[in-house]
Amino acid sequence: MATVDRVVCEDCKVRIGSMVARGVVPPVVNELLTKPRRVVTAALPIRHDDGTVRTYNAFRVLYSDARGPGKGGIRFHPEVDEEEVKVLAFLMALKCALVDIPFGGAKGGVQVDPSRLSKGELERLSRAYVRAMLPVLGPRTDIPAPDVNTNEEVMGWMVDEYAFLTGRHEPAAFTGKPLSLGGSQGRREATGWGGAFVLAAYLQYTQKRDIAGLRVAIQGFGNVGSHIAEKLAQMGARVVALSDASCALYREEGLDVPALIAAKREKGSLSCVADGAAQRIPHEALLELDVDVLVPAALAHQIHEGNAQEVRAPIILEMANDPVSPEADAMLAQRGITIIPDILANAGGVVVSYFEWIQNHENRYWTFNEVMEALQAKLQEVTRALLDRCWKEREQCPLRAIAYELAIERILAAERARGHIA
Beta-carbon count within 10 A of 23 CB:
8
418 by DSSP, 3-state: which?
A: coil
Q: CB-side exposure of 229: number of CA atoms within 13 Å?
A: 27
Active site residues: 107
* Domains along the sequence of the chain with CATH: 3-9+35-183 (3.40.50.10860), 188-345 (3.40.50.720)
pLDDT at residue 65 in the model:
95
pLDDT at residue 227 in the model:
97
- Give the Cα separation of 297 and 263 in Å (integer): 19
- Give the Cα separation of 39 and 82 in Å (integer): 8
Amino acid type, 186: G
- Give the Cα separation of 175 and 189 in Å (integer): 14
287 by DSSP, 3-state: which?
A: coil
pLDDT at residue 129 in the model:
98
Beta-carbon count within 10 A of 116 CB:
10
- Give the Cα separation of 111 and 39 in Å (integer): 16
The tens digit of pLDDT for each residue in 264-322 reads 888 877 876 656 678 999 999 999 999 999 999 998 899 999 999 999 999 999 999 88
The tens digit of pLDDT for each residue in 205-252 reads 999 999 999 999 999 999 999 999 999 999 999 999 999 988 999 999
Helix (H) or strand (E) holding 70: strand 70-77
pLDDT at residue 376 in the model:
98
pLDDT at residue 23 in the model:
62
Q: Which of 196, 130, 173, 142 is nearest to 356 (CA)?
A: 173
Walk across the sheet containing 238-243 and list its strands: 279-281, 248-250, 238-243, 215-219, 293-296, 315-317, 338-340
Question: Nearest-5° angle of CA 118, CA 120, CA 122?
Answer: 70
Neighbouring-strand partners of residue 248: 243, 281
pLDDT at residue 107 in the model:
97
Helix (H) or strand (E) holding 338: strand 338-340
Q: Work out the percent of the chain whose per-residue pLDDT is above 70.
A: 91
Question: Nearest-5° angle of CA 126, CA 130, CA 132?
Answer: 115
Q: What is the DSSP code string of 380-413?
A: HHHHHHHHHHHHHH-SS--HHHHHHHHHHHHHHH
Q: Which residues of the chain have pLDDT under 70?
A: 1-26, 30, 272-276, 393-396
Q: Which of 288, 293, 330, 280 is nearest to 307 (CA)?
A: 288
| Residue 57 Ramachandran class (φ > 0 left, ψ -120 to 50 alpha, else beta) | beta
